[in-house]
Amino acid sequence: MNKKHHFKDPKWIVFGGSYGGSLALWTRQKYPNLTAGAVGSSPLLQPKADFWKATQFVEDTYRSYNPKCADNIEIAFAQILDMMGTELGRDQLSELFRLKPPLSNRTLKYEDIQLLTSIQLNNFILGAQFRGGPLM
């Protein structure tokens, strides 16, 4: 950007929300000479390993909307994990989520299961965090 517009020693204002909000604030803190300011919306200011309270908040949000909703989400995640254990299940998940390459074409590693679960969970986290979407 600086080269493209021939800027010389600009100071940027960095923006971010949620995790990006943390990055914006940490960037400002670490590189005050490069930034004029930072806007961090809903940042996590003190990172924690295995921060289970974040997903507990998500469950509580859906449960307060409708206890059946939270129960069904829990059942769906259990079904997804079960389906990953069989070739037929992996074929069904690949078709359902339009995965390329399909899960059945590879030997699943623990990291693969974590990634797919994380991607799916993130949809529910964002809905709860920002109170958006059709359920909220």
Are 33 and 60 found together in one domain? no
CA neighbours closer than 13 Å in the CB half-sphere of residue 105? 6
Are 35 and 63 found together in one domain? no
User: 31 pLDDT band (50/70/90 cuts)?
Assistant: very high
Are 112 and 59 found together in one domain? yes
Are 82 and 18 found together in one domain? no
Return the minimum-mean-pLDDT range out of 7-21, 58-72, 114-128. 114-128
Q: Which DSSP symbol is given to 102?
A: -
- Number of domains, the chain: 2
Q: Which DSSP symbol is given to 104?
A: G
List the beta bridge partners of residue 35.
12
What pLDDT is stored for residue 29 in this prediction? 95
**Using one digit for the tens of pLDDT, what is the confidence trace for 52-92?**
777 788 888 899 989 999 999 999 999 999 998 888 999 99
Are 89 and 117 found together in one domain? yes
Are 34 and 59 found together in one domain? no
Q: Give the Cα separation of 26 and 5 in Å (integer).
A: 26
Residue 101 carries which side chain, given as an amino acid letter? Answer: P
What pLDDT is stored for residue 133 in this prediction? 47
Are 104 and 59 found together in one domain? yes
Are 37 and 57 found together in one domain? no
Whether pLDDT at 110 is above 80: yes
Are 66 and 20 found together in one domain? no
What pLDDT is stored for residue 136 in this prediction? 47
Whether pLDDT at 44 is above 60: yes
Q: Give the Cα separation of 23 and 26 in Å (integer).
A: 5
Are 56 and 117 found together in one domain? yes
Which residues fall within 8 angstroms of residue 62, CB to CB, at 6 or more apart? 69, 70, 73, 124, 128, 135
What pLDDT is stored for residue 100 in this prediction? 87
Cis amide linkage into residue 10, ω under 30° from 0: no
| Residue 95 belongs to domain spanning | 52-130
Are 61 and 120 found together in one domain? yes
List the beta bridge partners of residue 14.
38
What pLDDT is stored for residue 132 in this prediction? 53
